[in-house]
A = this chain, B = another copy of it.
Amino acid sequence: MSIRRILEALSSNDYRVTWQRWAVAAHIALKGDQLFTVEELYQSLKAHYPDIGLTTVYRTLDLLVDLGVITRVHGDDGVARYGMRVPGVTCAVQLRCEVCGDTRPLEIEQLQPLLQAAAAEAEMLLTSCEVRLDGICSRCRRERVSLGGAAPGTR
């Protein structure tokens, strides 16, 4: 269960487990694989713990993001959404140059929660994902291709 993972992440990093943090952890776990806004979490928390403060929720979520147990994305509306980070699901991004064929892995921080949210919306429980980006790397662009289009600085 995920609430334990959160609490362990806290205590094993020498953070104190207050009842507020416990409550936040519990309610995050309740959300399952669903993303939630701070306001949503705060409302559902306040229903059970009227004394909890909004600031604490913000701070706890920040902390958990730093600890790597949850992730943060910003939706179209610019509002932050959080969700449990599923450890099993990794989004492997492959960056491949279609000229020289050079392929290398790439880390995109925001990608996993975005895909996870999209999958959740389609009622799909995500287990793995794979992204392949094809393009032309800088070296090949310099060596072979004249860029075309607008050249910044040309005005």
Contacts and interface: CB of A to CB of B under 8 A. Distances in A.
B135 A30 contact: no
A95 B138 CA distance: 31
Given A106-B118, A133-B124, A150 B2 contact: yes
Interface residues of A, number: 51
A95 B110 contact: no
Contacts of A122: 95, 106
Q: Please give the count of copies of this chain that the complex contains.
A: 2
Interface string A109-125: 11100110011001111
A32 B149 contact: yes
Contacts of A141: 125
Interface of A: 1-3, 29-32, 34, 72, 74-76, 78-80, 93, 95, 97-98, 106, 108-111, 114-115, 118-119, 122-138, 141, 149-152, 155
